[in-house]
Amino acid sequence: MSTPALFSPARLGSLELENRIVIAPMCQYSAQDGCLTDWHVMHYGQLAMSGAGLLIFEATAVAPEGRISWADAGLYDDATEAAIDRVVQAVRQWAPPMPLALQLTHAGRKASCSQPWKGGKQLPADDPRSWQTVAPSALPFASDDRPPLALDAEALKRLVEDFASTARRAVRLGFDAIELHAAHGYLMHQFLSPLSNARTDHYGGSLENRMRLPLEVFEAVRAAFPADRPVTVRVSGTDWVEGGWDIEQTIVFARELERLGCAAIHVSSGGLDPHQSIPIGPNYQVPLARAVRTEVDMPVIAVGLITEPQQAEAIIGTGDADMVALARGILYNPRWPWHAAAELGAGVTAPAQYWRSQPHNLKSLFES
């Protein structure tokens, strides 16, 4: 019997993946002063035993003010580096071999917020855990948010260096890949969209100008990360708001990223504007991934309400995307790849301690 498309090998640059299941970055809002905690040892430990092809660590801020919330992860000093190192070492020691990637981000105007289960809104200025946010322009995300400070030329230079410095720390930590977060309304997306970027200098206005800062960040990270390790980018394919960022602009951006050596593009959507109108449903973002895939040669990752094995298999099998990413679905079912392999007639890598758990009728499920 032939191998299901979902469980066929894949490549990100020179990085070989066992299958085409990617664990998407998922913020845990459980860090302390930017440092990962014991929660993250448990969280990433269980995900690393899932049998997926790639595990991407959550959005990790390149500066303290780039965190989405006061409880977000960072990688910008020795303390935050040591905290991530402890988690990575635990995962490497106990889980089966699995490539690990780190998503780098700056939240821009969507920073200084409370945790989602506490409302997720921006904290008031008099809250001791809040800070002044920054953005391309002094335009707040929500009407009752404190306006961000527009980044000046010197601040932009520091920002690019912050991304490069964090990439160098990721090298020391042994990450196999980096994903840059240019989606969901965070800082790089804020530069891309005309809804949040009202600058009149060479970082605003035309599409070429709005892409300039994200491309500069990509080049700096690509130069700081070893050439044999891939750098990928996550984008929002559309703002879902008229006059905003859209799939046509996304394709132009993707082509430029590919020209600069981007190893893959991860296509999500939305997050930039509270007025977005998203047609949420199974596969609702897959057409965006398909549109990009027809225009670039690099692998494209689809994400968004992909919950069923046959659904994921169809996305890969029909060529809509090269890989699928799971987020909430794998939080709900951390063994999703095991169950998908069982349903589709494939095998996964599992820790030896769990081999006896496979059902009697699935003796070839776990690959040693």
pLDDT at 2: 84
Q: Which amino acid is at 231?
A: V
pLDDT at 40 > cutoff 60: yes
- Catalytic residue numbers read 186
pLDDT at 141 > cutoff 60: yes
Percent of the chain at pLDDT > 90 equals 96
| DSSP annotation of 366 | E
Span 5-328 CATH architecture: Alpha-Beta Barrel (3.20)
Mean pLDDT of the 155-176 span: 98
Least confidently predicted of 45-49, 208-212, 358-362: 358-362
Residue 16, C-beta contacts closer than 8 angstroms, at least 6 positions apart: 9, 10
d(CA 54, CA 248): 28
d(CA 120, CA 69): 8
Q: Tell me the average pLDDT of the chain.
A: 97
- pLDDT confidence band for 231 (50 / 70 / 90): very high
Q: Which amino acid is at 136?
A: P
Pairing of strands 100-105, 54-61: parallel
Helix axes 153-173, 207-224, angle to 10 degrees: 40
pLDDT at 1: 60
pLDDT at 27: 97
pLDDT tens per residue across span 61-79: 999 999 999 999 999 999 9
d(CA 20, CA 326): 11
Torsion sign, CA atoms 253, 255, 260, 261: positive
pLDDT at 360: 84
pLDDT at 361: 86
Dihedral angle, C-alpha 311, 316, 321, 325, nearest 10 °: 60
pLDDT tens per residue across span 100-135: 999 999 999 999 999 999 999 999 999 999 999 999
pLDDT at 368 > cutoff 60: no
Mean pLDDT of the 175-203 span: 98
Q: Which of 37-74 are b and which e, b meaning 16 or more Cβ less than 10 Å from the residue's Cβ?
A: beebbebbeebbbbbbbbbbbbbbbbbbbbbbbbbbbb
Give me 72's structure tokens. Answer: 């977000």
